[in-house]
Amino acid sequence: MPVDDLSSLALALSVIIVAAKLGGDLAGRAGQPAVLGELLAGVLLSNVPGTDVLRTLAAVPHLDILAQLGMLLLLFEVGLELSVRDLLDVGISSLLVALFGTIASLALGSAVAAALLPGAPGATHLFIGAAVTATSVGITARVLKDLGASRSREARIILGAAVADDVLALVLLALVTGWLGGTARGEAFRGWPVFVLVAKAIGFLSVALVLGTRLAPAWFRQAARLKTPGALLAGGLGVCFFLSWAASAIGLAPLVGAFAAGLVLEDVHSDAFVQRGERPLAQLLAPMTSFLVPVFFVVVGLRVNLSSLMTPAALSLSLGLTVAAVAGKVACGLGVVSGGARRLTVAAAMMPRGEVTLVYAALGLTMRLGGASLIDARSYAALVAVVLMTTLLTPPALRWSTRR
């Protein structure tokens, strides 16, 4: 890397890291999740008048690679907090809530995009609809904890549904990227049947989870024989990056592989290392994620051009997608079949969009269709606005629903 590029990257990182921590702290003091402050910090850095120099940060060479690495580690960390057992134990209500919410959000989001972006290709409409499907697990869990409702019947349904919701959103991401990959190679849609894409996405996750759960114990037993420090972290990251490559090699998003890697690496695999005084994998990963994940969120904010939202058409798209996102999760209340659980509370808790929507937005700018970006600056800014607005709406909506 040339010295000039390194110097530019060092300056960009110094500004971004400080801005991320300040934004996260202010958001926390206001009772909001840190991700909201990190996003707003990036938006302010690139849109405050008189800060033209700061607006060039998003274009610094190699910064995008670090942000994408932050995306991978974010999905890996989300997977580490769950397990294959979590996916099997969510219950019928959780599965129905996730399924109804995903289908409704996809349909409404795609319809709004088609109505307000008539000149865009159908792939763009579908991609935007898929981007607003996933509930933010972290935001939902934080709000429930703050309300003292983290052990309620509704909370168990909500968190189980949020887990299934993320999996469905990643399967959708795999399907859309696979379809676009076929389109980019000149294949007609009828030559790339939907059932093949579904089989590829579900097949990859199934094979990765089945083989991973069987091979991971032996992999970490061998790693535990190494006397060098950092063997546990190296083994975990090795699995994460290998499955990310494997997903990409068959035409899926690398993020799908990173998420699958996190699911198969359970705490029990760290036992041999913990017994000799080392920390578990999730704790070893924390310094890396606390550095790179906020970089991703700030970079997402940096690329938001507020002027692109200051038109009636852009504002209509932002508001339309937000309404579609909220209405899609209101529909998920129909999936609550457990007695004693309030459907309105479940629906309100499923409203916030977060990490997965931002990942979609970032990917949409980099993916190409017909020589142009899959989504334009207006659509990108609208998706970020959906995250901001649904995150702000969730706490008061949940408080209102729990008090009724």
Residue 136 lies in a domain: yes
The total number of structural domains that make up the chain: 1
Tell me what pLDDT residue 110 has: 93
CA angle (21 as vertex; 20, 27 as ends), nearest 5: 90
- 52 domain-assigned: no
Contacts of 27 (CB under 8 A, 6+ apart): 33, 34, 35, 36, 37, 38, 40
Given CA atoms 355, 356, 360, 366 in this order, what sign does their dihedral have?
A: positive
CA distance 195 to 284: 40
Domain presence at residue 365 = yes
Q: Is 368 helix (H, G, I), strand (E, B) or coil?
A: strand
- Three-state DSSP class for residue 94: helix
pLDDT reading at 205 higher than 80: no
Q: Tell me the three state secondary structure of residue 369.
A: strand
Strand partners, 368: 373
User: What's 166's domain CATH number?
Assistant: 1.20.1530.20
Calculate the CA 261 to chain-centre distance.
15
Amino acid at 322: T
- Residue 121, pLDDT > 50, answer yes
Q: How high is the pLDDT of residue 28?
A: 82
Q: What is the mean pLDDT of residues 228-249?
A: 86
pLDDT at 340: 64
Mean pLDDT, all residues of the chain: 78
Residue 163 lies in a domain: yes
Q: For the segment 308-356, what is each residue's pLDDT rounded down to a tens digit? A: 777 888 889 999 999 999 998 888 878 777 666 678 888 888 888 877 7
Q: Is residue 170 part of a domain?
A: yes
- Residue 170 or residue 133, greater confidence: 133
Share of the chain above pLDDT 90, in %: 9
pLDDT at 192: 47
pLDDT digits 0-9 by tens, 364-388: 888 877 777 888 888 988 898 888 8
Q: How far is CA 356 from CA 73, 162, 169, 207, 362, in A?
A: 13, 12, 8, 23, 10
- Contact 178/200 with Cβ under 8 angstroms? yes
Query: pTM score, two decimals?
Result: 0.70
pLDDT tens digits, one per residue of 292-317: 888 888 887 887 777 777 788 888 99
Entry field: residues in the chain: 404
Domain coverage including residue 275: 68-403
- Kindly state whether residue 383 falls inside one of the protein's structural domains: yes
Q: What is the pLDDT of residues 4-31, one digit of tens each?
A: 778 888 888 888 899 999 998 998 888 7
DSSP for 28-42 reads: HHTTS-HHHHHHHHH
- The answer to the question of residue 319 being in a domain is yes
119-128, 152-161, 229-238, 323-332: lowest mean pLDDT where?
A: 152-161
Is 111 contained in some domain? Answer: yes
Asked if 109 contacts 128 with a C-beta cutoff of 8 angstroms, the reply is yes
